[in-house]
Amino acid sequence: MTQVTDRLSASPTTPTSPAPASTAATKTAQIDVAWLGEYLLGTWAAERKQSRALMARPEFHRIDGLTLDEHRERVFGQLKLLVGDGAVHRAFPTSLGGANNHGGNVAAFEEIVTADPSLQIKSGVQWGLFGAAVLHLGTKLHHEKWLPGIMSLEIPGAFAMTETGHGSDVASIATTATFDPKTDEFVITTPFRAAYKDYLGNAAVHGRAAVVFAQLITHGVNHGVHALYLPIRDDSGLLPGIGSEDDGLKGGLNGLDNGRLFFDHVRVPRTNLLNRYGDVNEHGEYTSPIESPGRRFFTMLGTLVQGRVSLDGAAVIASKLALTIALIYGSERRQFTASSATDEEVILDYQRHQRRLLPRLAETYAMSFAHEKFLSTFDGVFSGAHDTDDDRQDLETLAAALKPLSTWNALAILQEAREACGGQGFLMENRLTQLRADLDVYATFEGDNNVLLQLVAKRLLTDYSRTFAKADAGAMAHYAAELVGDVAVNRTGLRRLAQNVVDFGSTARSIGYVRDTASQRQLLTDRVQTMVAEVAGKLRPASKLARAGAAALFNRHQNLLIQTAQAHGELLQWEAFTDALEGVQDDQTRQVMTWLRDLFGFTLIERNLAWYLMNGRLSANRAQAITDYIDDRLLPRLRPQVLDLVAAFGLTAEHVRAPIATGIERVRQNEARDYYENLRASGKLPIEEKDLKAKKR
């Protein structure tokens, strides 16, 4: 097997043969790395490969040490290179030079994170938010007028939705667009400081126009949030009535010129309203193909869901990048003479190091497979192949479930990888600290993660209530009897007692009852279903309470709601991993991937053992058996597979760009070992003081 470090290394000093593996790393199975790498690329493998080839070029790479202005200008110049390579137009109509390829567009876009997250987000602002808003919220008139300039970067633009006072609560934004029938114009106004459009990419320096979201008012009626196209700069600077402030230096993503915009009675033609879902005629009369204001609002926002899709995918790629660095380094770095008087131990052979990184590796594979399903669902909706109202609602729920988990997990993985590399991980040249800083904001933009999970919980409750909406009294009584019986068995300890009796205290017997796929699915699914039923029961009185009382009841159980949604998202990831196993034909590869899936599933269960014990789903014996199985079986089995599993990510040296992942540590370790071996062989090795004292005794 070719070592992954040899594949990544661009250094001529890297040895052709690796340092001797420890006994813990003896191969037990052979993964088909090439096949697995293709499998992970998914449906849009060609687009991902094209993007990776582009991102391998040094002109797209982040340069550390640039000033704020220099970094911004470099990234803006890189946008022009993307245009020149035709890399950003896949999702636009063929009539305008695009390809109507929505899934491939997002897949390629996600790969940009390997070059510089600032470049990924700035290109996302330009074409994935600003351009996509004109495409999906506008009509043919708007497409023909503005999309060519947006696609060519002649019109750099901002996506002006978020306000200082309202981030995730878009429905409550305060900027207004009031129709003036005398001039056939909308008057856009920022009524107070908290209504400033904030944190907008391209707003501080480069933007020439913006899609502004505002409360649409005509004839004294507020029709809710709509989007309008608004020019904001020309060659001379800001246009009359437009105000701008620079957000300045941020915790990360400083190649992106975030800023604020505010408006003092700025007038735009009525036809600048992006009117696919709501229109105003010259008389000020409002019409919409969607009668419900609430559904209309969510439909308009749903057309822009690709931002959440791409953040989910970029978080997965960043996690793969971090683990590639940390696991290569961990497989080469040696420290402490635990089992030998002369040879130091490879740190990845320490169980604790495996415990820190291997579950994260399993988690990343689960995230990757879940994202592929997510991306396919997105493409189905936006291509029109599966574009019913239910399809769009399912996509919105999936986005709200997976984006929080992947972005939170990516931050945790980056931090764990940094710590696992010690001081080397803290060096900027090894990228982990900068990636952690750049991805930090992923947890709060395109929807704060906690708010998104709350949306998922509400959908779960809606589906739960629909299940019983038409149930007759007999069905409800039967369900209630089952629930009472379930509670009686689980919470009185009878289930735990039965498990203990069957297991007879045997760890092997205990794990045997929960190790298979069906048992893992039952444990994970049961937790979600039980939590949904529990929170539904707690919130049931809300329908009979006044608004304030209902809000207070909801608030008392908000934490449980979010925990329920998170459990649901984790189940989706586990199911995606399990489904992916069906496509693995090679027996040895499938065996290793099954171990990896098991590690992911058991880690989820172990992380929530308190719930399983408190609710009687597991006995203490079986709970302990799960931990023992991870430590004594799964980690040792997977340890020899680590380099193959990260090699399947397909990231080259040009993508990784971290010296400690090039084989340089192996060179250092071999040099040190050879030095001491030669010193011992020459008889010149000094005697240790403790050995001298032992001889005297």
What is the pLDDT, as a whole number, of residue 445?
87
Last-in-domain residue among 621, 638, 655: 638
Contact at 8 Å (CB) between 428 and 410? no
- The CATH number of residue 557's host domain is 1.20.140.10
Residue 555 counted as domain residue: yes
| Cα separations in angstroms, 401 against 189, 444, 455, 457 | 35, 14, 9, 9
The predicted model gives 272-286 an average pLDDT of 97
Q: Rounded to whole angstroms, what are the CA distances from 312 to 38, 339, 418?
A: 20, 42, 21
Q: For residue 245, indicate whether it is catalytic.
A: no
- DSSP-assigned states of every residue in 454-504: HHHHHHHHHHHHHHHHT--HHHHHHHHHHHHHHHHHHHTTHHHHHHHHHHT
The answer to whether 10 touches 621, Cβ cutoff 8 Å, is no
Vertex 543: Cα angle to 541 and 544 (nearest 5)? 70
pLDDT at 504 over 70: no
Q: Which of 224-228, 482-486, 533-537 has maximum average pLDDT?
A: 224-228
- The rounded Cα 488 to chain-centroid distance in angstroms is 40
Q: Are 134 and 221 in contact (CB under 8 A)?
A: no
Name the maximum alpha-carbon separation found in the chain. Answer: 107
Mean pLDDT, range 348-365, rounded to an integer: 97
User: What integer pLDDT is reported at residue 339 of this predicted model?
Assistant: 78
In the chain, the amino acid numbered 392 is: R
Contact present, 323 and 429 (Cβ < 8 Å): no
How far from 655 is each of 8, 58, 164, 314, 651, CA to CA, in Å? 9, 10, 36, 14, 6
Instruction: Name the nearest CA neighbour of 575 among 527, 648, 518, 533.
Output: 518
Region 529-553: mean pLDDT is 90
The Cα 422–Cα 555 span in angstroms is 42
How many folded domains does the chain comprise?
2
Give CA–CA dist 456/316, Å, rounded. 21
Give, rounded to a whole angstrom, the gap between the first and last alpha carbons of the chain.
50
SS3 for 673-694 is HHHHHHHHHHCCCCCCHHHHHH
Q: Which residues of 198-235 are buried (b: 16+ CB within 10 A; e: fewer)?
A: bbbbbbbbbbbbbbbbbbbbbeeeebbbbbbbbbbbee
Helices 432-439 and 306-330, axial angle in degrees (round to 10): 160
For residue 238, the surrounding DSSP H or E stretch is strand 237-238
In a domain? residue 657: no
DSSP letters, 530-569, are: HHHHHHHHHHGGGGGS-HHHHHHHHHHTHHHHHHHHHHHH
Least confident of 163-172, 200-209, 417-426, 512-521: 512-521
pLDDT of residue 341: 75
Question: What mean pLDDT is predicted for residues 159-174?
Answer: 93
Condensed to tens digits (0 to 9), the pLDDT of residues 239-271 reads: 999 999 999 999 999 999 999 999 999 999 999
Q: Which of 406, 311, 258, 301 is nearest to 120 (CA)?
A: 311
Which amino acid is located at 397 in the chain? T
Judge whether 447 lies within some domain.
Answer: no
CA 298 to each of CA 302, 372, 458: distance values in angstroms, whole numbers, following the listed order: 6, 24, 14
Q: How many CB atoms lie within 10 A of CB 552?
A: 12
Phi-psi region of 384 (alpha: psi -120 to 50; beta: other; left: phi over 0): left
In this prediction, residues 387-401 reach a mean pLDDT of 91
Please report the pLDDT score of residue 16 as a whole number. 31
The H or E element spanning position 286 is: strand 286-287
**What does the alpha-carbon distance between residue 367 and residue 362 come to, in Å, rounded to a whole number?**
9
Residue among 120, 112, 113, 127 at smallest CA distance from 159? 127
The closest of 355, 365, 361, 350 to 325, measured between CA atoms, is: 361
**Residue 182 in domain:** yes
Max avg pLDDT among 14-28, 46-60, 302-316: 46-60
**581-639, pLDDT tens digit by residue?**
999 999 999 999 999 999 999 999 999 999 999 999 998 888 999 999 999 999 999 99
Average pLDDT over residues 194-198: 97
pLDDT exceeds 90 at position 27: no
Residue 1 reports pLDDT greater than 90 = no
The model's pTM = 0.91
What contacts 635, CB < 8 A, 6 or more positions away?
351, 354, 355, 358, 599
CA 596 to mean position of chain CA atoms: 20
Question: 446, 570, 654, 665: which one is catalytic?
Answer: 446
Q: Is the pLDDT of residue 13 over 70?
A: no
Residue 533 CA to its chain's centroid (Å): 28
Judge whether 209 lies within some domain: yes
User: Which residue, chain included where needed, has tokens 């019109």?
Assistant: 155
pLDDT bin (cut points 50, 70, 90) of residue 685 is confident
What is the pLDDT, as a whole number, of residue 21? 40
- The predicted model gives 18-22 an average pLDDT of 38
Query: Phi first, then psi: what are they for 223, rounded to 5°?
Result: -95, 15
User: Does a structural domain hold residue 566?
Assistant: yes
Distance CA 213, CA 126 (A): 16
Confidence band, pLDDT 50/70/90 cuts, at residue 543: confident
Mean pLDDT of 561-574: 96
Cβ-contact 319, 413 below 8 angstroms: yes
Structure tokens at 4: 């992954």
Exposed e or buried b per residue across 51-77, where buried means at least 16 C-beta atoms within 10 angstroms of its C-beta: bbebbbeeebbbeeeeeeeebbbbbbe
Q: Of 457, 307, 290, whose CA–CA distance to 389 is shortest?
A: 290
The answer to whether residue 662 is domain-embedded is no
Give pLDDT, residue 508: 61
Give rounded-to-5 percent helix, strand, coil for the chain. Answer: 65, 10, 30
Task: Say whether pLDDT at 11 is over 80.
Answer: no
Tokens of 335: 């420290």
User: In the predicted model, is pLDDT for residue 118 greater than 70?
Assistant: yes
Residues with Cβ within 8 Å of residue 490, at least 6 apart in sequence: 615, 616, 617
Spatial separation of the C-alpha atoms in residues 86 and 80, rounded to whole Å: 10
The residue-averaged pLDDT of 105-117 equals 97
State the Cα angle at 605 between 25 and 367, rounded to 5°.
Answer: 70
Closest CA to 438 of 195, 54, 119: 119
- For the segment 63-90, the average pLDDT, to the nearest whole number, is 96
Least confident of 33-37, 75-79, 612-616: 612-616
Q: Give the residue from 227, 258, 292 where a domain finishes.
A: 292
Confidence of residue 9 (pLDDT cuts 50, 70, 90): very low
Q: Which residues of 648-666 are buried (b: 16+ CB within 10 A; e: fewer)?
A: bbbbebbbbbbbbbbbbbb
CA-to-CA distance for 457 and 566, rounded, in angstroms?
Answer: 9
Contact (CB, 8 A) for 375 and 313 = yes
User: Is 317's pLDDT higher than 60?
Assistant: yes
Give the residue from 224, 258, 292 where a domain finishes: 292
The single-letter code of the amino acid at 331 is S
How does DSSP classify residue 235?
T
Q: Are 106 and 306 in contact (CB under 8 A)?
A: yes
- The answer to whether position 196 is within a domain reads yes
Mean pLDDT of 534-561: 91
Stretch 263-284: mean pLDDT: 97
Task: For residue 202, give the CATH number of its domain.
Answer: 2.40.110.10
**pLDDT tens readout for residues 477-490:** 554 455 445 544 45
pLDDT tens-digit series, residues 318-347: 999 999 999 999 999 998 887 777 788 999
In which domain, by residue range, is 577 found?
473-638
The pLDDT mean for the chain works out to 90
Q: Measured between alpha carbons, how far is 43 from 49 in angstroms, rounded to an integer?
A: 12
